[in-house]
A and B are shown apart, each in its own frame.
Chain A
Amino acid sequence: MQRGLGLTQLTLDIAEHNAVPLEDRPVERPRSGHRHLVRNGLVWAAAVLVAAYAASVVATNPAMRWDSIGKFLTAPIILSGLVTTLLITFLSAVIGLAGGLVIALMRMSSNPLIKTIAVGYLGLFRAVPLLVQILIWYNLGTFFPELGFGIPFTDIGLYGDTNVLLSPLVACLIAIGLNQAAYMGEIIRGGLLSVQPGQVEAAIALGMTRAKAFRRVIAPQAAKSIIPPLGNDMINLLKATSLVSVVGVGDLMTRAQGIYASNYQVIPLLIVASIWYLALTIVFTFVQGLLERRFAAGVAR
C-alpha cells in the first residue's frame, strides 16, 4: 500500500518534471559562498597547523643554533662568497647570452655545415653534466700543459701555462658559460621562431636591411617570449654556480662548507646559504616580472 502510493507519487513527479521544458528546469549553481568559506577556512586551518608544527620542530631543535645562523648570515666571509656567486652568475650569463645568440643563429642557418656545428655543440654541452664539465676545464692543465694561439704543426705562436691561464675561477666561468650558451641558444632560437615571418617581411619591404630588421622588429618581439624561460634559466644558473665549490672557487657554497667543516654546524650553515639563494631568486623573479611588463607591449589585453 505504502509502496504503491510512493510509486504513484514518483510517476506523477516524473510526469510533472517532464512537462517542464528543458530550458526552464532549475540547474545546480556553484556552491554558495557560505559553504565555500567554511571549506576554505578548514583547508587554511589545516595548512597553518602543519606549518606551525614543522616550524616548531625545526625551531626548537637544539642542533638548530639560531644564534649562529644570525651570526653567519652577514659574516664578511659569507658576504664575500655571495659576491663571488653573483660575479660568476653575471659573467656566465653574459657569456651564455652572447654564445647562445651565436648558436641560435648558426642553428637556424641555411648552411648545412654551420647548422651541423651548432647541433653538435648543443648535443655535446647539454649531454655532459655541468659538474663534469667544470672538472674537465679545471683539470685541463694535466692534459694540455700549455694553451695559446699559433700555427698548427709548428712551434710558432703565443703559448702560456694552462694552470696560470685557467685559474679555478676562469675555468668555472668557461665551463658554466659554454654550458649556458647551449641552453640559452635553444631559448633564443625558440624566441626567434615565435616571431611571425610576415613581421620580418614587412620590415624588409619597408626598406630595412636585414640587420636593422633584426634590431628593430625581430629582437624586441622575440624578447617577449624569451623572458619567461630566460628567467627560469637564470635561476637555474644561480643555483648551478654552487657546483664550483668542488674546485674551491670561493663562492657562497664553498664558504658555507668551509665554515661547517671547522665548526660542524652543517645544517645551520646550509640554511644560511639557502636563505641567500632564496633571497637572490626572489630578486631574479622580480626582475623577470619587470622585464615581462616592459616587453608586453602589443599583447592583446
Chain B
Amino acid sequence: MNFSPPELRAAADAPALIRVRNVTKRYGANRVLDGVNLDVRQGEVRCIIGPSGSGKSTLLRCLNALTDFDSGAIVLDETRVGYTERNGVLKPWTGREAAAFRSRVGLVSQHVNLFSHRTVLENVIEGPVQVLGASRVSAVRSATDLLSRVGLADKHDSYPSQLSGGQQQRAAIARALAMNPRVMLFDEATSALDPELVGEVLGVMQALASDGMTMVVVTHEMRFAEEAGDRIAVMDAGRIIEDGPASEVFARPRQPRTAEFLKDHFRFAPAEGRRSHA
C-alpha cells in the first residue's frame, strides 16, 4: 500500500502539522476540554487514549471544526481552525470556509455513516465530485484504486446495508482518503464493530500509518496504540494527563491515573497482549 509519498514522512524537528494550544470547551459548568495542549507532527500516528467521557472525541471533533471551542487555538496545516485572516484581522469562518477546511481533513467515526442511499463506489466518489469538483471519470479511477487497497474491489456496487460492519468501516476509510486529506482523524473507528471484524479495520489503518499518513487516532485498542502509535496522549477529565512515546507510556506510566486506566483495560486481555506492561 502507498497512500502518500514517502517524502511526507515525519521529520522529528519539523514544526508540528497540528498545534493545539490551551483549548477549553464547556457545556454549562462541565469542562469537556480543560486547557488541552497537543502537537501532531507530519507523518506521525498520534493516539489518544483515556476513559469514556474524558474529552477525546470532543478534541478530535474540534480538530476538523465539527465542534467549536470556547478559548485557546488550533492550527492545522498552517490554518487557524475557525478563522481566516482578512486585512490582518482573524475573522470567523463562513459556512463555505468551514466546509473547505473540512474537505482537507478525513474523519472516520465510530458509527459508520456511509451514505445509505448510495453504493460503495458512489460513496467514495461523492466527495471528490461534489466537493472538490473532480470529474466523474477520474474520481471513479482513483476510487477503484482506493477500494482495492482496502480490500473491497468486488464491492463497488453493493449498498452499505449489504456489507459487514468491518467492510463498511473500510469503505468509510476509502471515502475519507478519496479527498486526499492532509490528516486522517479516527474516532474510535473500531469500537462499534464485532470483535472478529476489528482486525481487518486496524490492518488498513496500520498500512495507512506505515505509508506516512498523519493520523490522530482516538482508540480503546491498546495494542494498536502500542504497536502503530508513535506518541500517546492520555486524557482524563478534559485534560491531557500524560503524553509521550508509546513505548514509555505503556511500560512506565508516570501518572497513577494512567496506570489505573491501563490496568483496568488490560484486566481481561490475554497474557500476550500484556507482555510489556507487567
Interface residues of A (CB under 8 A from B): 196, 198-199, 201-210, 212, 216-217, 220-221, 224, 295, 297-300
Complex: A20 Cα to B99 Cα, angstroms = 71
Q: Tell whether B90 is near chain A: CB-to-CB under 8 Å.
A: no
Partner pick for B99 among A196, A199, A204, A298, CB 8 A cutoff: A204
Instruction: For A216, list chain B residues within 8 Å (CB).
Output: 126, 130
9 of the cross-chain contacts (CB-CB < 8 Å) are A202-B113, A204-B99, A206-B102, A206-B179, A207-B103, A212-B131, A217-B115, A221-B116, A297-B159
A207 touches B109 (CB 8 A): no
Complex: A240 Cα to B118 Cα, angstroms = 37
Q: Given A199-B116, A204-B66, A207-B103: A298 and B160 within 8 A (CB)?
A: yes
Q: For the complex, would chain A's binding face be called helix, strand, loop or mixed by DSSP majority?
A: helix
Q: Tell whether B111 is near chain A: CB-to-CB under 8 Å.
A: yes
Complex: A284 Cα to B211 Cα, angstroms = 56
Output the least CB separation between B76 and chain A (Å). Answer: 14
Complex: A89 Cα to B162 Cα, angstroms = 40
Interface residues of B (CB under 8 A from A): 64, 66, 95-96, 99-104, 107, 109, 111, 113-118, 126-127, 130-132, 159-162, 175-176, 179
A297 touches B179 (CB 8 A): no
Instruction: For A298, list chain B residues within 8 Å (CB).
Output: 115-118, 159-161
A210 touches B95 (CB 8 A): yes
A206 touches B109 (CB 8 A): no
Complex: A196 Cα to B116 Cα, angstroms = 10
The 10 A-B pairs at the shortest CB distance, nearest first, are namely A207-B103, A202-B113, A198-B113, A300-B161, A205-B107, A298-B117, A207-B131, A298-B159, A298-B116, A207-B102
B118 touches A199 (CB 8 A): no
A220 touches B179 (CB 8 A): no
Instruction: For A210, list chain B residues within 8 Å (CB).
Output: 95
Output the least CB separation between B186 and chain A (Å). Answer: 12
Instruction: For B159, list chain A residues within 8 Å (CB).
Output: 297-298
B118 touches A297 (CB 8 A): yes
Partner pick for A205 among B100, B102, B162, CB 8 A cutoff: B102
Complex: A221 Cα to B159 Cα, angstroms = 14
A203 touches B117 (CB 8 A): no
Complex: A196 Cα to B111 Cα, angstroms = 11
Instruction: For B104, list chain A residues within 8 Å (CB).
Output: 207
Complex: A210 Cα to B104 Cα, angstroms = 17
A199 touches B66 (CB 8 A): no
Instruction: For A224, list chain B residues within 8 Å (CB).
Output: 117
Instruction: For B162, list chain A residues within 8 Å (CB).
Output: 300
Complex: A299 Cα to B117 Cα, angstroms = 8
Complex: A300 Cα to B162 Cα, angstroms = 7
Output the least CB separation between B126 and chain A (Å). Answer: 7
B115 touches A209 (CB 8 A): no
Complex: A300 Cα to B179 Cα, angstroms = 28
Output the least CB separation between B122 and chain A (Å). Answer: 9
Complex: A207 Cα to B101 Cα, angstroms = 7
Instruction: For B64, list chain A residues within 8 Å (CB).
Output: 205
